[in-house]
Amino acid sequence: MTASQAMDIQHGLSIDSDWWRGAVIYQIYPRSYQDSNGDGIGDLLGIVQRLPYIASLGVDAIWISPVFSSPMKDFGYDVSDYCDIDPMFGSLADFDAVIDTAHALGLRVMIDLVLSHTSDQHPWFQASRQSRESDKSNWYVWADPKPDGTPPNNWLSIFGGSAWHWETRRCQYYLHNFLTSQPDLNFHEPAVQSALLDVAQFWLDRGVDGFRLDTINFYFHDASLRDNPPLAPEKRNSTIAPAVNPYNHQEHLYSKNRPENLDFLRKLRAVMKPYNAAAVGEVGDAQRGLEIMGQYTAGDDLMQMCYAFELLSGDQPSASDVARIMKRVGEVASEGWACWAYSNHDVTRHTTRWKLTPAAERAFATLMMCLRGSACLYQGEELGLQEASLDFADLQDPYGIEFWPEYKGRDGCRTPMVWEDSNLHGGFSTAPRTWLPVPSDHLRHSVASAEADPSALIHHYRKAIAFRHSHAALRKGKMVDLSAEGDVLRFLRRTDDETIFCAFNMSDVPAELTLPKGDWHPVGAELNSAHPGADGKVHLGPWQPCLAFRAS
- Report the CATH number that the domain containing residue 453 is assigned in CATH: 3.20.20.80
The answer on 345 and 489 residing in a single domain is no
How many other C-beta atoms are found inside a 10 Å radius of the C-beta of residue 404? 13
Paired with 172 in beta bridges are: 167
The answer on 538 and 416 residing in a single domain is no
The answer on 481 and 378 residing in a single domain is no
Spot the catalytic one: 60, 78, 214, 382: 214
CA distance 185 to 414: 27
pLDDT at 252: 96
How many folded domains does the chain comprise? 2
In a domain, 159, yes or no: no
Q: How far is CA 268 from CA 53, 119, 540, in A?
A: 32, 22, 47
The answer on 434 and 516 residing in a single domain is no
Q: How far is CA 14 from CA 19, 106, 108, 428, in A?
A: 9, 11, 10, 33
CA distance 269 to 273: 6
Nearest to 325 by CA among 347, 314, 309: 309
Domain that holds residue 344: 3-118+192-467
pLDDT at 270: 98
Query: What count of Cα atoms within 13 Å lies in the side-chain half-sphere of residue 552?
Result: 15
Spot the catalytic one: 94, 120, 282, 381: 282
> Mean pLDDT for each consecutive 10-residue tract of the chain (552 residues)?
46 76 98 98 98 98 98 97 98 98 98 98 98 97 98 96 98 98 98 98 98 98 98 88 90 97 98 98 94 96 95 95 98 96 97 98 98 98 97 93 92 98 92 96 97 98 98 98 98 98 98 95 97 93 98 86
Listed residues 423, 446, 467: the one ending a domain: 467
CB 464 within 8 Å of CB 375: no
pLDDT at 1: 42
504 three-state secondary structure: strand
Known catalytic residue: 214?
Answer: yes
Question: Strands 108-113 and 210-213, how do they pair?
Answer: parallel
DSSP state of 392: G
Known catalytic residue: 184?
Answer: no
